[in-house]
Amino acid sequence: MGKVFFEVTVPMKIKKQEGLFISCCPVLDIYSQGKTAAEARKNIIDAARLFITACFERGTLDAVLKECGFAALKKSIAIPRDHKFIKVPIPFSVTGSCATECRV
């Protein structure tokens, strides 16, 4: 068995509201919070990881991403420097012959 990690980079926002820091990932329509900005950032990363993982496990990731407005690009683009982004690690385990053997 092997481990594989994908990383998704998505925009996020944090704002202070009534003594808490509210974090959101608008492109996935998910929210979290924390007592500090750092905790709110960590919590939105965890929420995004759980959201993406749950969609993958249910077989709905493609449909959910399309519903959120995602589309594949033909080439990579530069990430705007004036936006705040988070990197969300998505862990997978690989079983079977694919984990140990390359068929090229």
Q: Is residue 62 part of a domain?
A: yes
Mean pLDDT of 7-28: 94
Q: Is residue 34 part of a domain?
A: yes
Residue 15: domain span: 2-93
Count helices and strands (H / E) in the chain: 2, 5
pLDDT digits (tens, 9 = 90+) for 35-45: 999 999 999 99
* CA–CA dist 16, 61 (Å, integer): 31
- What does each C-alpha distance from 35 to 19, 29, 38 come to in angstroms? 7, 21, 8
Among 86, 1, 12, 4, CA closest to 53: 4
pLDDT at 102: 54
Q: Is residue 86 part of a domain?
A: yes
Q: What letter does residue 35 receive in the DSSP assignment?
A: S
Q: Is residue 74 part of a domain?
A: yes
Q: Is residue 17 part of a domain?
A: yes
Q: Is residue 98 part of a domain?
A: no
Q: Is residue 82 part of a domain?
A: yes
